[in-house]
Amino acid sequence: MRFNPIFFDLDGTITDSAQGIIRAVQYALEYFNISATEESLIPFIGPPLRDSFAHFFPGDTEKLEQVVAKYREYYVEQGIFQSRLYDGIADLLRQLAENGHTLALATSKPEPFAVRIIEHFNLTRYFACIAGAQFKGERTDKPAVLRYACQTLGVTPSAGCLMVGDRKYDVLGAHEVGMPCAAVLYGYGSEEELKKAGADQICPDVKGLRKFLIGA
């Protein structure tokens, strides 16, 4: 088996979640009378939420906590389900699981949200572990999430593991813990971003990802 276990990012890799995330960000910023276009908020998809909001409230911890709370107020009720699965991704997860691969989810999204989304799309049975951030700001970056996921599965990151993601944070996070990363172009990261980050493999679409992982 070429790679095992395989760790998947969520937003931009399994789900196209831009609509729900961007609307939640706009809702939170409007509370502070800040308007922003959808295009300008695309960078919110991928990195830890607090890091993204910090650009609007540099050095203001109180407002940062308030805006994160407003974001979650919208997201937990509406934004969480304003997403869709990428075409072919559910079938790929099924094939990998049937072939004996251990699959894990590794996301910077709060873990309870990730669990609800995976359950919503009926994908829970494919994942041995769902690892995400904690609400209190713990385990927010990709390296911390991956270390936790590896510990949960009882594996060493450098021993046959693979990260699959769509942003530089996935590539850099995987490399920091000693794991290679296959990057996908159908998500929110550009080819330039992913190459610059040092992606070990770049897959243009789900079909290309399947070919890389399964060979068919």
CATH number, domain with residue 120: 3.40.50.1000
Cite the active site residues: 9
Residues in the chain: 216
Residue 94 sits in the same domain as residue 65: no
Residue 168 sits in the same domain as residue 198: yes
Total domain count, the chain: 2
Residue carrying the six token digits 């974001």? 71
The pLDDT score that the predictor gives to residue 45 is: 84
The pLDDT score that the predictor gives to residue 53 is: 92
Residue 70 sits in the same domain as residue 95: no
Domain range spanning residue 22? 18-81
Tokens of 4: 């095992």
Integer CA distances (angstroms), 190 to 5, 71, 125, in order: 26, 26, 31
Residue 61 sits in the same domain as residue 151: no
pTM for this predicted structure: 0.89
Of the candidate ranges 36-40, 42-46, 168-172, the one whose mean pLDDT is the lowest: 42-46
Residue 39 sits in the same domain as residue 67: yes
DSSP 190: -
Give the CA count within 13 Å in the CB-facing half-sphere of 14.
Answer: 27
- Check: CB of residue 173 under 8 Å from CB of residue 142: yes
CATH number, domain with residue 51: 1.10.150.240
The pLDDT score that the predictor gives to residue 49 is: 84
Tokens of 171: 């590539």
Helix (H, G, I), strand (E, B) or coil at 60: coil
